[in-house]
Chains A and B, each alone.
Chain A
Amino acid sequence: MQIIIDQKAYQAEKNQCVLQVALDNDIYIPHFCYHEDLEVEANCRTCLVEIVKPGADTKEKIGEIVTSCTLKASEGLVVNTKSKKVIALRQENLSLLLSHHKFDCGTCPRGSICAVNESIVKNKVDITKYQSTPTDMPVIALGTAAEFDSNVCIACNQCVKICEEIGIGYLKLEGKGVNNRVAATDDPKIDCIYCGQCTVHCPVSAIQEQSHLVGVEAAINDPKKIVIAQMAPSVRVSIGELFKMKTGKNIEKKLNTAFRKIGFDKIFDVNFGADITTLVEANELIDRIKNNGVMPMFTSCCPAWVKFIEFYYPEMIPHLTTARSPQIHAGGAYKTWWAEKEGIDPKNIVVISIMPCTSKKYEAGHKKLKIDDMFPVDYVLTTRETATLIRRHGIDLETISSSEPDVLGEYSGAGVIYGASGGVMESALRTVSYQLLGKNIDRIEFAEVRGMEGIKKATITLADKKIHVAVVTTPKNARIILEEIKLNPKAYDYIEFMACPGGCIGGGGQPIPSTKRIVKKRTEGLYKIDSTKSCRSAHENKHAVEFVEYCRQNDKKSHQLLHTTYSKKQRGE
């Protein structure tokens, strides 16, 4: 059907809301509580439009001001997004809404990339109009990953909804009237898993990552330090969104130059770590199959998923692969094997991971992962923090030249698809088949484990062996599969679990907004990189193979650098 917005006709689908039609056509309407994947809240009251002519099924009257998130597209509907009445009421509601917002833009990890900022500028909002009584509620930490400041919250409810939707329900809104704010549940059976989905759904940075920007900038400014940047697969196809570039476009070569400009000394890649992880994990899977180990084996590269198991299903811990995660494998490699080769004192190395994730911050701080008293990874920046860092250095990603990474920045196609749900599984299958047969099989792509569905199941035949696999995202779906395993322990051999919808590519540290449609495009970007690589399997990454062999020279190194352990976690641990 057709509707008319500001005198121009646009195609709309039945039941689509007018706000979505506008956003899809680059018509600016401010909005804070609306998210296309979540149930309509309609509480911020800023997405106002005026009815010029009601549509066939529109109940509203001519001249009525309505929220466009609740207004359904209807044949013949005509709305105005810029009438005098709309502008005045929007300004008033924005002034009221932001009377509660603490403006610390200078230190905010969002910097100038911010919906609040955009709404003020585009709507000419007087933010001094209403003074709010300052509240002084403590900032609540979500582990060492994220934090929320109720004093900044505008009660939009997005964080609560997404936390419920993924199956955790740690956050809630509480308090009446002006005290209606985000809070943590006091239910002792519920704990946060640090996935950060709340942070990627917070329009005003009331919930955000615990920022490592200060530490990163200090390391860069310290001439004694050799500062290594390693970027996770997902970042290269998503960070461009924060610079008005196309979603899903791989801009890793521009980022290499940007990171060098900022002052990083070496540009390596978490994908190198992913290749190490695949080698270790594939080996363990074969070992478990051959030697009747605990089956099915679960992946463990998502720290939020690991926290989920350690808190909610500690009895299932033996199913987790002992393989460390990619950022930890790679960080360990730089500070031992690479440092030895280069003759560098590893104490001078600072490893900075650039991740689509908040739980990676939590993981980086695990003391159990230390190697010779060094953390493998020193700081973790989210995709959003990284964009702020780039902005602060005045770098224009659009025009910056391309450059190659340093030597450990080379990776296989298997490494890069780690960013997508099913990618860890597919990478492992490529290498398991090689390790079982001693040669590559004809098949490289496993489409049956790709895609956005929350639960994917497949039976894969490798070297005459049938392997039953599942690929799962979000705790809600994980519970379904874990309960199935309790009833039928032999249902699967190997299961990939990720906390975030779509996998890391839909992670809690990713650009805002992050929607299913956007995540799908980012995912396509990852598979495109893989399909154009000549090296598409972990066992073809010679650096990764060399490092694993280095570790396997003795048990201590192997344990210290390749494997880890897990334990039952208490609330808040």
Chain B
Amino acid sequence: MSTHPLLDQLEAAGVVGRGGAAFPTHLKLKRLKELNVPIGYVVCNASEGELGVKKDAYILKHFPDKVVAGMIAAMDFLETKEAYFNINKHYYDLYGPKLKTITDQVNQEQGKLFHFYIEEPSYIGGETGALLNSIEGKRAQPRLSPPSASIVGIHNKPVLLNNVETYFDIARVVEGIFKPTRYVTMTGSIINPGVFCVNRDLTVIQTLEQTHNTPSFDFFIQVGGSASGEVISRSQANTHLLTGCGAIEVFPANAQSRDVLMRWFEFYFKESCGKCTPCREGTHQLYTKLKQLQSEEPIPWDSIHAIITTMKATSFCDLGKSLSIPVESYMKNILGVKI
């Protein structure tokens, strides 16, 4: 039982974190409120560093007022006047002016204080600890937890950190216009790419159908982000729901393993912050191993798997751990590689 109308409404609407973790938003707010300490900032994560995801950009472009309204609702609930947009530089260049017009007006009329932290676009920049460190002027590297990064917050004041879409959803709840929908980015070998608003309970196949993207050829899918999302077969897509971060990438069934792996390895290699050994060196090894592989040589699954497993079990943060999701599911669900 929640104790505040906002929490009740959010719970009833089933609003969850749209960064991908799907943690119930009302619980996150409740937990912060129950700390009984002054909350520093309400922070909007507009980093969107995940490969193949553009839904936050879409929302910032079309509904910036809603995002700000969702943040204001959270600020009022948590009784803080200050907020931060952690926004990647590309997005700021595109949507910053409009957002700033809105926040300037809010600052003036409602006595709020919205700040912008313009981030060098990166994957790690969206990780809670790294994001908060960046705002504090430190290196964009994850924090040791416990204590939870958002409880330590910014300059030792707890923060509420949510994804762009989550604030958008909060606003829709507050304004009484909420529908059980979500945004999904469709990419890959499809005819109708783009960002779509779909029912949140769809299966992957239904999402392809409704966005007019059902391929005419045999295919497999990565769902939840083109870097860290899970890879599933066509048949698994029939029952697999639209989980994680809203994104679907379609691969033709005959996609070369080397190309599929290379995109992940190169991305992680370039995006690893370098803090911990398995991710720093592991991503480097994976990338160079594959790059140096002659075209006739078989893919060294054993050594790839050894590194992936080590990264999964021992990386400092979720970035390093997450590479195992696409690679292992691809090996298991598509290739049937036994390790």
Contact = CB atoms under 8 A, between A and B. Distances in A.
Interface of A: 40-46, 48, 59, 65, 67, 70, 85, 89, 92-93, 96-97, 99-100, 130, 132-133, 154-155, 173, 175-180
Contacts, number: 86
B306 A92 contact: yes
Interface string B289-311: 00000000000000000110110
B275 A180 contact: yes
A41 B139 CA distance: 14
B122 to A, nearest CB: 8
Given A45-B315, A99-B285, A130-B285, A177 B271 contact: yes
Given A48-B314, A132-B284, A70 B277 contact: no
A223 B210 CA distance: 91
Interface of B: 122, 139, 144, 146, 269-278, 280-285, 288, 306-307, 309-310, 313-316
A96 B310 contact: yes
B282 A96 contact: yes
B293 to A, nearest CB: 14
Given A92-B307, A132-B284, A173-B139, A43 B277 contact: yes
A180 B277 contact: no
A99 B139 contact: no
A177 B282 contact: no
B285 A43 contact: no
Contacts of B144: 40-42, 70
A99 B273 contact: no
Contact of B283 (A41, A45, A89, A177): A177
24 contacts: A42-B276, A42-B316, A43-B275, A45-B315, A48-B314, A59-B146, A67-B314, A89-B309, A92-B306, A92-B310, A96-B277, A96-B307, A97-B281, A130-B281, A130-B285, A133-B288, A155-B274, A155-B275, A176-B273, A177-B270, A177-B273, A177-B283, A178-B281, A180-B274
B38 to A, nearest CB: 25
Contacts of B306: 92
Contacts of A93: 277-278, 310, 314
Nearest to A155: B274
A496 to B, nearest CB: 35
A133 B307 CA distance: 17
A89 B275 contact: no
In the A-B complex, the 10 residue pairs with the closest CB atoms: A180-B274, A96-B281, A178-B284, A177-B272, A92-B310, A177-B274, A45-B314, A43-B276, A97-B277, A45-B277
Nearest to A157: B275
A353 B274 CA distance: 40
B101 to A, nearest CB: 34
Nearest to A100: B281
Contacts of A177: 269-274, 280, 283-284
Contacts of A176: 122, 272-274
A361 to B, nearest CB: 32
A497 to B, nearest CB: 31
Nearest to B122: A176
Nearest to B303: A129
Contacts of A46: 277
A28 to B, nearest CB: 19
Contacts of B288: 133
B314 A65 contact: yes
A99 B146 CA distance: 30
A176 B269 CA distance: 10
A180 B142 CA distance: 14
B250 to A, nearest CB: 29
